[in-house]
């Protein structure tokens, strides 16, 4: 099928929520290279937007995926399976946290983090439910995750959004401190912001953020969709700063393109 035929199918039968930057129809990939359906070869600098950490179609991942498909694809969450338990143990070990909830995407992983925080606040802190976030944050496109931003382009048309989110400027520890009330239960942020560029926090900021959360008995949630799985030189970005969150979320590079998200938290 030629590229124009595929684009015609998209135009007629799919719902578009964002524009595609080119008319290229990808057909196959190998390492850092991809080929379109017209036979043109490209050097891929996008990595699936921080997903294909190991390149396209690495042989070892292909072998493992094919082996698992031959053994078992799906049962349900009513049963145990070996890979689930092994991956949960591995993520707990490399993160320094304790327990893992798996989902299908980064947005779902963040939704789970928000739900954990709300449930913890309701059950342990007498109903505290407000979550502080950065004003221009991006944590996903579900109704819950777009509520955790003040970007009008993300929010417009989906009102009413979820209540209980308070936006502050990124990396402003004084604004964060002022935003905390008797209703606050958690702070969610990216330790290194990936959407508008690679924005690293000021020296000492994440240590101050951790201390602020501890002083006010808040959960600190780190969204590491863009920075996890070794993309900063350590397995997770927060490990550069000698702290750890209460809840960690990841997806993207976790499975090199297969749909998986993970929400990792402490026993607390």
DSSP annotation string for 215-248: HTT-EEEEE-TTT-TTTTSSSSGGGGGT---SEE
Q: Is beta strand 247-250 parallel, antiparallel or unpaired with respect to 165-168?
A: unpaired
Please state, in angstroms and as integers, the Cα–Cα distance from residue 78 to each residue in 36, 74, 75, 196, following that order.
41, 11, 8, 41
Is residue 45 among the annotated active site residues? no
Token pair for 199: 């924005």
User: What are residue 20's phi and psi, to 5 degrees?
Assistant: -95, 135
Rama region for 188: left / alpha / beta (φ>0; ψ in -120 to 50; rest): beta
Is residue 172 among the annotated active site residues? no
What is the rounded CA–CA span in Å between residue 182 and residue 215?
13
Q: ∠ CA(199), CA(201), CA(202), 5° rounding?
A: 125
CB-facing half-sphere around the CA of 109: CA atoms within 13 A: 26
C-beta atoms surrounding 184 within 10 Å? 23
What is the rounded CA–CA span in Å between residue 45 and residue 222?
26
Helix, strand or coil, per DSSP, at residue 173? helix
Is residue 138 among the annotated active site residues? yes
Out of 36, 223, 236, 246, pick the active-site residue: 223
Any bridge partners for residue 103, and if so which?
A: 261
Out of 102, 138, 222, 236, pick the active-site residue: 138
Please list the active-site residues: 138, 223, 252
């Amino acid at each position: 099928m030629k590229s124009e035929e595929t684009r015609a199918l998209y135009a007629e039968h799919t719902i578009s929520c964002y524009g595609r930057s080119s008319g290229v129809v990808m057909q196959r990939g190998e390492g850092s290279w991809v080929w379109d359906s017209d036979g043109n070869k490209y050097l891929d600098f996008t990595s699936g937007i921080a997903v294909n950490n190991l390149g396209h179609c690495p042989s070892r991942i292909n072998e493992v995926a094919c082996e698992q498909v031959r053994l078992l694809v799906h049962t349900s969450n009513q049963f145990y399976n070996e890979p689930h338990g092994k991956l949960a143990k591995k993520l707990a070990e490399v993160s320094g946290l304790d327990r893992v909830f798996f989902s299908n995407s980064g947005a779902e992983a963040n939704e789970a983090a928000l739900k954990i925080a709300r449930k913890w606040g309701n059950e342990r802190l007498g109903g505290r439910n407000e979550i502080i976030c950065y004003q221009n944050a991006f944590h996903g496109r579900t109704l819950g995750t777009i509520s955790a931003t003040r970007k009008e382009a993300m929010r417009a048309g989906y009102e009413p959004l979820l209540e209980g989110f308070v936006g502050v400027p990124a990396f402003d520890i004084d604004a964060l401190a002022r935003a905390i009330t008797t209703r606050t239960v958690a702070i969610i942020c990216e330790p290194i912001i990936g959407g508008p560029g690679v924005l690293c926090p000021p020296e000492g900021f994440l240590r101050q953020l951790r201390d602020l959360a501890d002083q006010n008995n808040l959960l600190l949630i780190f969204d590491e969709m863009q920075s996890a799985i070794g993309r900063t030189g350590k397995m997770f970005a927060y490990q550069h700063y000698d702290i750890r969150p209460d809840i960690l979320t990841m997806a993207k590079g976790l499975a090199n393109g297969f749909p998986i998200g993970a929400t990792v938290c402490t026993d607390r």
